[in-house]
Amino acid sequence: MELTPHYETTITCIYCKEDFPTAKLRSKFVRVKKHESDFQPVYVNPDVNGIYYNVFVCEHCGFSFTEDFSRYFVPGTEQVIQSQIVERFVRRSYNGERTVFQALEAYKLALVCGNLKKEKNVVLAGLAMRIAWLYRSLDNEGQELRFMKMSRDYYINAYTTGDYSSTQMSEFRVLYMIGELSRRIGDNEEATRSFSRILEQQSTCLEPQIITMTKEQWLIMREE
Ligand SMILES: [Zn+2]
């Protein structure tokens, strides 16, 4: 039997606790050619796009989430999710292969659910950034800019509140994302502030790649 890039797995909804099937990609088919300066992965085969399947959309209640969502619901948020999401959900499944448009829809649902759930800013930033990447792949610059700005603002909140501290994101990486997304949306003042902050403390940074990337983007900004 020929192995396909997709396979089906079962996920338990973190909201209604029901099981549902969802497609995932076999990691050996997901080959990254390079990363853009905001860490967007560029795939060898654009049809096997790793980020299309990060969001799980529960076919029972409509709640949409990623592996980064915490299982904990802040008191009061479940009632809001019930009235805003579950009671309005038209039952449908996002299982199976996704087009870029279905992936976009799934990410937007997760962004709405994450907001209602009061998920960490750093998680919401990651969702908005992936939406921007999907629009980039469609050459829709207006929407790409809109979601990069949204992502940048969530990263600023993440930095201010420190809510990234229990995640894989380091302070330097959060600052870099603020700087690079600001540069991309043309907010050179904020980009300069964040990049300077990184370079001032570079001797304490354990991620040499971030320092190199900061210097590169700083130069690009100055040349522009
Ligand atoms: Zn559910």
Residue 66 C-alpha to ligand 1 middle, in angstroms?
A: 13
Residue 20 C-alpha to ligand 1 middle, in angstroms?
A: 8
In the chain, what is the straight-line distance between the N-terminal and C-terminal CA atoms, in Å?
Answer: 53
pTM of the model: 0.95
Residue 91 C-alpha to ligand 1 middle, in angstroms?
A: 11
Instruction: Name the phi and psi angles at 38, rounded to 5.
Output: -110, 25
pLDDT values of the chain reduced to their tens digit, one per residue, 224 residues: 678 889 999 999 999 999 999 999 998 899 999 999 999 999 998 888 989 999 999 999 999 999 999 999 999 999 999 999 999 999 888 888 999 999 999 999 999 999 999 999 999 999 999 999 999 999 999 999 999 999 999 999 999 999 999 888 999 999 999 999 999 999 999 999 999 999 999 999 999 999 999 999 999 998 88
One-letter amino acid for residue 186 of the chain = G
Length of the chain: 224
Residue 56 C-alpha to ligand 1 middle, in angstroms?
A: 10
Can you tell me the distance from the alpha carbon of 107 to that of 44, in angstroms, rounded to the nearest whole number? 22
Q: Ligand 1 being an ion, which residues bring their Cβ within 5 A of it?
A: 13, 15-16, 58, 60-61, 63
pLDDT at 129: 98
Instruction: Name the phi and psi angles at 59, rounded to 5.
Output: -75, -10
- DSSP secondary structure string, the chain? -PPPSEEEEEEE-TTT--EEEEEEE-GGG--EEEE-TT--EEESSTTS-GGGGS-EE-TTT--EE-TTS-S---TTHHHHHHHHTGGG-------S---HHHHHHHHHHHHHHHHHTT--HHHHHHHHHHHHHHHHHTT-HHHHHHHHHHHHHHHHHHHHHTTTTTSS--HHHHHHHHHHHHHHHT-HHHHHHHHHHHHHTGGG-S-HHHHHHHHHHHHHHHH-
